[in-house]
Amino acid sequence: MISKRIAAVLAGATTVSLVLAACGSNGEDSSPASSGDSVKSLTILDYYNNDPDKSLVQKGLDSCASQLGITIQRETVPGDTLIQKVLQQASSKTLPDVLMLDNPDVQQIAATGALAPLNDMGLSGDGVIQGMVDATSYQGKLYGLAPVTNTIALFYNTQMLQEAGVQPPKTWDELKAAAKKLTKPGRYGIAFNANATYEGSWQFLPAMWTNGGDETDLNTPQVSEALQLWVDLVQSGSASKSVINWTQGDAKDQFVAGKAAMMVNGPWQIPALEKTPNVKWEVVTFPLNKPDQTPVAPLGGEAWTVPLNKDQAKQQKAADFVKCLNSDENELAWAKARFTIPTKTALLDQYVKEVPSMKAFTEQVKTARSRTGKLGEKWPEAAKVIYQAIQLALTGKASAQDAFKQASGG
Amino acid sequence: MAQATITRTTDARGTGPVRRSRGRRHRGEDLTKILFVLPAAVAMVALFGYPVVKNLLMSLQDYGLRTFFTGAAPWVGLKNYSTVVTDNLFSDAMVNTALFTIGSIAFQFVIGLALALFFHRRFPLSGVLRSLLLLPWLLPLIVSSATWRSILEQDSGILNRTLSWLHLINEPVPWLNSPSVALIAVIGVNIWIGIPFNVTLLYSGLAEIPDELYEAGQLDGATGWRAFWFITWPNLRAVASVLLMLGVVYTIKVLDIILGLTGGGPANATQTLATQSYERSFIDFKFGEGAALSNILIAISFLFAIFYLRSTRRAIDE
């Protein structure tokens, strides 16, 4: 009799522990140790979750997989959830074999010790634009390679500029004058993004860096002059007051709808622009404050990294895979299909010849810098001060001179 | 699986023997009681206890990006709390949270009560209209905030267009673009979202009040306003206090609407404790500081909960 009751207790207890055990072991399927060519498949995580990018990237991944004789299991997540996904996988030790990261995040993740240095596995950043090597290196070691990059420049509506008799601006004064002239009821001269996110800081960098500003010291006249440009454009009514809430996608929507004659934006908007063929546009490099300056724009684009793996053979295979993605062939294929720019300097001239519409962006990339090049993992803090200063200045809560001091809590 | 556990243990217990000496039986009964409680206790500990305790621990640790990879989260005592409390934005966020909560609840409740009273007198199509009123509640919050963002757009938003067409405004109102207006706009949208909840609960509260009371009141001359004050309101008090209590707890932690409309901007004009906690955790990846802020938020909600529990106990004692 008693045994029955004990059995019941035991049954209860074991089921509970089984449930717990099931939870614990979930997703921890450790792959059997393999060596050399026995690596048959790699897992990949990236954030190209929308077409056409999703399938265009898939093509490149597939061709490298067949070159290496492996199969791939790819997972894509929305861009803004990638880091959270990576953190979750890191704590459950289930990071993929090949991981894509936005280039300003590479150093932050490398600093945690999650990534394998690529130099030890036969990869190098030779021939790659210095700005990109800076972004994907941490403490002198290379942790990722980006096959293609992008940046931002000035799009303009050719028809509107022609009607107003305005030439594409080359200097800030010309930009302000052109924007003013192009503004009329129901239409702004220029659209850009000045919202309170890292995207808002990114859009501000061409003006700030070109004018000699530097994120290591934001309390300089060069930086506040750049902010004054944004303030002038908004306060003169040449740009909407809503820029403080707009994303880059919103700026593109305004441009496509004919509500803005110019916009600061990147080449990833080109597929969307091509859907409205009646809007004719061209791109020029971002204007300079003084004619003798060189344009310095920020480098965008994603790097492919290899998370540390106990299975050495698999880690090496993943590195080989990243190397293949960064072959000349794949760089050009991805650049052409996805309106991005190859990161190897030797390929740039050939690329512009084949894709003339990317000329201005390619020009910008040659002299571009990466966001994390100087500050490394401290960049997010500076970026935060930048976007908060922009918000303070554009809402009139601080002057362009005081905004950075106020935003940094001084 | 958990369900299987429950059924299996109860089955076994059901057929279990009862004939036994007194002490033993007592022990057996105790065991049975414990077994009954066990599944619920396990669920409580796993789903409520663990997160709360973890959040408390996290707020006392330097819990950052690195922690996820190395597992190391150095103990820092109350440093996270002092960091978030001495932050420039903390007092602004506190004031905004208070304004947001009080403003939202006051209007939600008053408008909800007015609508509930209105629909309480049956009239043709009242059922249809009342169910249409539920719409804001049925929409996903991300959808409603995106929609309101375009409605409140300064240049081409339909609200400004309509207002200027009616000659009510000369200049477009910078609903989401001005630090002095944005909080009002955000509160307005939250009121819109909260009205259905208030109407539904207050309406069912009204339906509970027996008609005889009004008939009896009529004989004593209590009609209209006096009927509301002496019959409706006292009978509605229990529902109203639950509603206000839930309202505070729901509103104080609102995040998605603010993120969708302004992202805490412009120039931090709509930052609340909840948006700050989110920002510290998921943008700055300083999870310790985010946890500290959310614990402060939980403590405030907890105060209201105690307040509510005490007031209901008093009502029962009466």
Q: Which helix (H) or strand (E) holds A369?
A: none
Is the four-CA dihedral B289, B292, B294, B296 of positive or negative sign?
negative
In this predicted model, which residue has the larger pLDDT, B222 or B165?
B165
**Are B190 and B272 in contact, with CB atoms under 8 Å apart?**
no
- Listed by start position, the domains of chain B span 2-59, 79-317
The per-type count for chain B, helices as H runs and strands as E runs, is 17, 0
Q: How confident is the model at residue A45 (pLDDT cuts 50, 70, 90)?
A: very high
Chain B residues in contact with A200 by the CB 8 A cut-off are: none
Residue among B5, B153, B267 minimizing CB distance to A395: B267
Listed residue (B106, B301, B245, B99) closest to B185, CA to CA: B99
Residues from chain A contacting residue B17 (CB–CB below 8 Å): 1, 4
Nearest CB to A242 within list B42, B69, B177? B177
CATH superfamily, domain at B79-317: MetI-like (1.10.3720.10)
What value does the mean pLDDT of chain A take?
89
B282 touches chain A (CB under 8 A): yes
CB-nearest partner of B154 from A22, A109, A242: A242
List the alpha helices (DSSP H) in B45-87: 50-59, 65-70, 79-86
Q: Which of A192, A181, A298 is nearest to A253 (CA)?
A: A192
Write the residue in A15, A112, A409 that is nearest to B4 by C-beta: A15
- pLDDT tens figures, B10-63: 444 444 444 455 566 778 888 988 899 999 999 999 998 999 999 999 999 999
Burial class, A200, CB count within 10 angstroms (exposed 0-12 / middle 13-18 / buried 19+): buried
How far apart, in whole angstroms, are the C-alpha atoms of residue B21 and residue A410? 78
DSSP state of A288: B
Distance CA B105, CA B137 (A): 15
> CA of A124, closest CA in chain B: separation in Å?
25
Q: Which helix (H) or strand (E) holds A301?
A: none
> Domains (ranges, CATH) in chain A?
39-149+300-366 (3.40.190.10), 153-297+372-407 (3.40.190.10)
Q: For B239-297, how does the pLDDT look when each residue is reduced to its tens digit (9 = 90+)?
A: 898 899 889 988 999 999 999 999 887 989 999 999 999 999 988 899 999 999 999 99
Asked if residue A322 lies in contact with residue A116, where contact means CB atoms within 8 angstroms, the answer is no
Q: State ipTM.
A: 0.82
Tell me whether A388 touches chain B (CB under 8 Å).
yes
A113 touching B, CB under 8 A? yes
Beta strand extents in A133-273 (DSSP E only): 137-138, 141-142, 144-145, 148-149, 153-157, 188-191, 260-265
Given a cut of 90, is residue B69 above it in pLDDT?
no
- What number of other Cβ atoms are within 10 A of residue B2's Cβ? 11
Of A363-372, A399-408, B17-26, B75-84, minimum mean pLDDT range: B17-26
A324 and A68 in contact (C-beta within 8 Å)? yes
Closest to A29 measured CA to CA, from A93, A97, A116:
A93
Contact A240 B69 (CB under 8 A): no
pLDDT reported for residue A160: 95
Q: Does B45 touch chain A (CB under 8 A)?
A: no
Say how far apart CA A362 and CA B15 lie, in whole Å.
Answer: 80
Question: To the nearest whole angstrom, how far is the Cα of B66 from the nearest Cα of chain A?
Answer: 5
Nearest C-alpha of chain B: how many angstroms from A360? Answer: 31
Nearest residue of chain A to residue B177 (CA atoms):
A242
- Residues in chain A within 8 Å Cβ distance of B18: none
Question: Do B174 and A241 lie within an 8 Å CB cutoff?
Answer: yes
Share of chain A above pLDDT 70, in %: 91
